[in-house]
Chains A and B, each alone.
Chain A
């Protein structure tokens, strides 16, 4: 099976812009979670989607949002970008049945100038 894929792999944006990141889960996986990784804060949970519904949410401002499509692909959007949003954004998928192992994608490196 193909692994989790994320596009784009690298992005450069300026403050105030918005950005959309995409994640395709492993075939058959219905849950997609998003994480932000920064040198200062480490890996932090953003939110989780299952069957097109947000099932869990971390402690991030409303500028961070997401959605999931019927084919389980997910997108994450960040509006009004700030310098502090520069990070590696990782998505992970699992079957969604119970507490399954989360398999991570390669990440999208976002740089905000």
Chain B
């Protein structure tokens, strides 16, 4: 089965500082999704990356997918309290239509 590793498990960052979350798959992916979740609530779609080397940005969040389509990073610039939550990467494997496999999640805490 596919392995999807997400790191770090948790992150405490001071407001205004940058942070990076990594997601690594043992297999080549069709696509990689990033979601954000407030504790106990649904997942909010952030970005989807599909092409090797692709990079997307939305407001202060940037996500990248490596050329081999096995590693992705999510970078937040100048973090704000609104960035606090759990970030999850979801892998859409080439041999697995319609089901996403998720990483364990990264809990982000933003301190004043």
Contacts and interface: CB of A to CB of B under 8 A. Distances in A.
How would you classify the secondary structure of chain B's contact residues: helix, strand, loop or mixed? strand
A90 B42 contact: yes
Interface of A: 4, 31, 33, 35, 42-45, 48, 50, 55-56, 58, 88, 90, 92, 99, 101-107, 109
12 contacts: A33-B100, A42-B103, A43-B88, A43-B105, A45-B99, A50-B98, A58-B99, A99-B31, A102-B45, A102-B90, A104-B35, A104-B45
Contacts of A45: 99-101
Those 9 A-B pairs whose CB atoms lie nearest each other, nearest first: A43-B102, A104-B43, A45-B99, A106-B42, A104-B42, A56-B98, A48-B98, A56-B99, A107-B42
A56 B45 contact: no
Interface residues of B, number: 23
Contacts of B92: 99
Contacts of A109: 40
Interface of B: 30-31, 33, 35, 40-45, 48, 88, 90, 92, 97-105
B45 to A, nearest CB: 6
A55 B45 CA distance: 23
Nearest to B99: A45
B68 to A, nearest CB: 19
B15 to A, nearest CB: 27
Contacts of B98: 31, 33, 48, 50, 55-56, 99
Given A31-B98, A56-B98, A99-B31, A42 B42 contact: no
